[in-house]
A and B are shown apart, each in its own frame.
Chain A
Amino acid sequence: MKSKNRNRILFLLVIVAVLFLAVSLYLVYFQLFEADELAANSLNRRNYIDESLVDRGDILDRTGQILAQSQATDTGYQRSVTYSVSLSHLIGYNSITYGKSGIEQSYNDYLLNIQDRDAVGKLRQVVTDGTVGNNLTLTIDHRLQLLANDLLKPYLGSIVVTDAKTGEVLAMASSPTFDSDWIDQNWSWIIEDQTAPLLNRATQGLYAPGSVVKLISAVAIQESGIDQSYVDTGEEMVTGYPFVNYNNAVYGEIGLRQALIHSANTYFANKSLQVGADKMAEVAGRFMIGEIIPFDLSTARSSSPYQSGMADVDLAAASFGQGTTMVSPLNMALVTGTIANGGTMMKPYLVSEIHSPQGSLIRRTTPEVLSEVTSRRNADELRADMQAVIEGTSAAIWSAPVGGKTGTAEAQDGLVHAWFTGFIPLDDRDITVTVVLENQTMTGAGAASPIAAQLFQWIYDNYHHE
């Protein structure tokens, strides 16, 4: 009896010991497999209580203008953006409820000064009172950004201004826009808006390019070494399908330059068949069509229409911009920049410098080659062609020999997307300007070129002899 009694008590001990050990094991399991997801849940108020204790770093533009800063309040720090409408797609919003976007998202670790830490270190650092974030300097010029926004305001579309030599993005506008400082209050109507104000069209909008794509085809023609002369009869038959020029024009005997000046569809339809789909695809790939463009903001992948063995009709149509090609304004700006920059595509960037709160330099972005696209000779020739294209058009300005190409791509309901992409030579560098306007009644030359001209003029006035 006594030993039985003893065994039963020991049995109880085993049961309870197993119980507590199970709880301990569960704790470890929970930590390893469930904790991360739970801790990151937006309902976990730690995620923003922590951050609101950090003096999030300032964001400045290239002129030293403060674009975003944090102000101390009773409950923590409050974020405010200086030009919160014009810069909403670049700086992004920083909301407790809806998360982050733009630079606020992609450079969050630097802005919180937790860039070098592992997960545990981050948590610990974030909550330590008195943390001050790093300051970012952007390549943006707020004056140019405001101008681009004003010019774009009546339209849906995008403007991208870059430095072809370095890859710096000087302005990047997207319309419609929203006010990042009022994201919480306006969220419901912003996301219901059919025009998608949250979409950064410059990097994530994909448009049929129309004739601007002829710049890429031109490089393919140059590189393939085929005869560049052509006699235009106003029609080019490809396997029974007739391709014609805009307004059914007939240009007679033309070379590549005239073909670009007149934007002759027939020329490119004819030549692309000689170049072949493989070569076209290869050149488009070097121009980052169909590739992911690394950038400080998330980018959409442009889509290339070229594949080996494709039908001649499709190949011909794609060569002058009527195929399934879809490009982002940023991608097109890089294409133009490549031609202006002697055939070398520079990697685009927005953040030029990161400084610690004490002012010491943490990171400086050095210009990087993204893609060696074509030879300097080809590029320079095409560059001169582009200048010839613009001469005497509505994109031209008196002060400098700007070059460019317009495009008009069919959209819905008989409307078009109006494109302009071009560059202005300054003392030792070229600045590219790319404009795309959605759902226009006028062509690229009619709608987009005048906007580009105003930007060129401003750039010349402010950057010449800089």
Chain B
Amino acid sequence: MRRPRLAEFVVRSKRREYFSNVKLLTFMFQLLSMGLVLLNTRQALTVNSLVFSGLLIGLTYLSNVLVQRYTKGDNYLIMIANMLFSIGIVMIYRINPALGERQLLLYTIGVGAFFIAYYFLHYTGHFWENKTFFFLGISIAMLAVTLVFGRTLGGATNWIEVAGFQFQPSEFTKITFAFFIAAFYANHAFFKQKLGGSLFLMIATYILIGIFFLQGELGTAIVFFAAMICAMIAFDRSRLLLFANIGLALAGLFVAYRLFGHIQVRFEVWLDPWADPDGRGYQILQSMFAVASGGLFGRGIGLGQPGTIPLAHSDFIFASIIEEMGIFMGIAISLLYLIVFYRGLKISLSQTNPFYKVLALVISMMFAAQAAIVIGGVLKLIPLTGMVLPFMAHGGSSLLASFVMLGALQYSSVEQYPEVALEIKE
């Protein structure tokens, strides 16, 4: 075995130091915040709550270590995700301990899914890199099933029930859609010759977006659109198509606004929530009150009133967190998502395999777009879209899908030797 040279050693030990610092920060946050939860919410120090705190600290630490040891590539991703998850679950547990415990269970499954996704891609090799139609088919099929068998919850028909479990297929469609775009650009030459190139991508994406509009899922539609546009900006030459798309999107939004009552309502509420403060404007106003009551440093964990916010543990968790942890925590969360995006783009830049290059970009764009849309909605910068923050909000489908995507991103960060040509062919 080759002995590491000194410079290499220094770099390595420095990196290790960073990692342990990040782990220490996560641990400190968990310890302090859970301590405050147990002190302030009259939960009392039951065996359950202590076991929960121990498990939270233990499991996140374990996932940090396991990912570092058993996967290659970017070790920061899981750490950022763990930090975001920790901030979220502390809030969820503080609002409702039962939901918090469920979230921890889902997290464990989620981390499992992360490894499954990673090793699945690792062992199936390059098999998936040209299965464009397969991914598109799966995406459309999942949404079609939802449209037929779906149940309406919270204004959107996007739930299906399988064997007693409720799923939100649109969350998992994000995964297949990301793979679809990656496969499309990895085989760009083929599509260019046979199927109209980017036009094909556009039509496929608009079909999916159309289904989302039918279901009332404005948010996911925007995330899909953002993912497609960003892939086009990065990997497509045609500026014309790009602007055509933006024009089409605006026109589409206008048509949808005229066509669908639920979208009109969202815009009206956004423009003037005070018109119906106890009815349609209730959610967003309560969210605004929570943010306004928090101040720079928050009212303290367990000392606020997130109970007054509807869906304080899921759609409006950002508002709950700001109320109790302050504007600075809100900024910190925004920056954490920005770092996820930055890491994703870094992976995309250094990746030589076109499939994973595109995949990394699309996945990180989806995370960023989703976070931005949710935060913007909660702050009333844009209309509410009914989505949740990745890794933070309570919800099995979202958490699971996010970890699968993170697993795929992790695998994308592993250096690969291209079997396909380095550049995307025109």
Contact = CB atoms under 8 A, between A and B. Distances in A.
| Chains A and B bind each other | yes
A182 interface: no
Contact of B375 (A17, A23, A30): A23
A377 interface: no
A439 B372 CA distance: 66
B271 interface: no
B308 A31 contact: no
A43 interface: yes
A20 interface: yes
B327 interface: yes
Contacts of A31: 292, 294-296, 327
B289 interface: yes
A254 interface: no
B230 A12 contact: yes
B305 interface: yes
Contacts of A5: 234-235, 423-424
Nearest to A4: B237
Interface in B336-387: 337-338, 341-342, 345, 348-349, 361, 365, 368, 372, 375-376, 379, 381
A8 B424 CA distance: 14
A11 interface: yes
A185 interface: no
Contact of B293 (A8, A9, A11, A46): A46
A124 B289 contact: no
Contacts of B337: 20
A26 B295 contact: no
Contacts of A43: 277, 285, 289
A127 B335 CA distance: 30
B8 to A, nearest CB: 26
Interface string B282-322: 00011011011111110110011100100000000000001
B288 A38 contact: yes
Nearest to B293: A39
Interface centre among A1, A43, A50, A119 (most CB of B within 10 A): A43
Contact of B345 (A12, A30, A119): A12
B334 interface: yes
A128 B42 CA distance: 11
A465 interface: no
B88 interface: no
Interface in B206-236: 230, 233-235
Contacts of B291: 27, 30, 35
Contacts of A21: 334, 338
Contacts of A363: none
B330 interface: yes
Please classify how large the interface on chain B is, using the bins under 10, 10 to 19, 20 to 34, 35 or more.
Answer: 35 or more
Given A9-B345, A28-B327, A38-B288, A23 B334 contact: yes
A393 B413 CA distance: 103
Nearest to A43: B277
Interface string A28-68: 10110011101101011110011000000000000000000
A27 B299 contact: no
B162 interface: no
B233 A6 contact: no
B376 A23 contact: yes
Contacts of A127: 299, 303-305
Nearest to A36: B292
A35 B292 contact: yes
A441 interface: no
A442 interface: no
Contacts of A2: 422-423
B293 A123 contact: yes
Given A38-B292, A39-B293, A26 B379 contact: yes
Contacts of A41: 289
A46 B289 contact: yes
A39 B349 contact: no
B331 interface: yes
B425 to A, nearest CB: 10
16 contacts: A12-B345, A16-B368, A19-B368, A20-B341, A24-B330, A26-B381, A27-B330, A27-B331, A28-B331, A30-B292, A30-B327, A38-B289, A39-B289, A120-B295, A127-B304, A128-B303
Given A5-B424, A30-B291, A45-B289, 14 more contacts: A16-B338, A19-B368, A20-B341, A21-B334, A21-B338, A26-B381, A31-B295, A35-B292, A35-B295, A44-B292, A44-B293, A45-B305, A124-B303, A127-B304
Per CB-CB distance, the 7 closest pairs between chain A and chain B, nearest first, are A38-B292, A35-B292, A44-B289, A39-B292, A24-B331, A20-B338, A20-B334
Interface of A: 1-2, 5-6, 8-13, 16-17, 19-21, 23-24, 26-28, 30-31, 34-36, 38-39, 41, 43-46, 49-50, 119-120, 123-124, 127-129
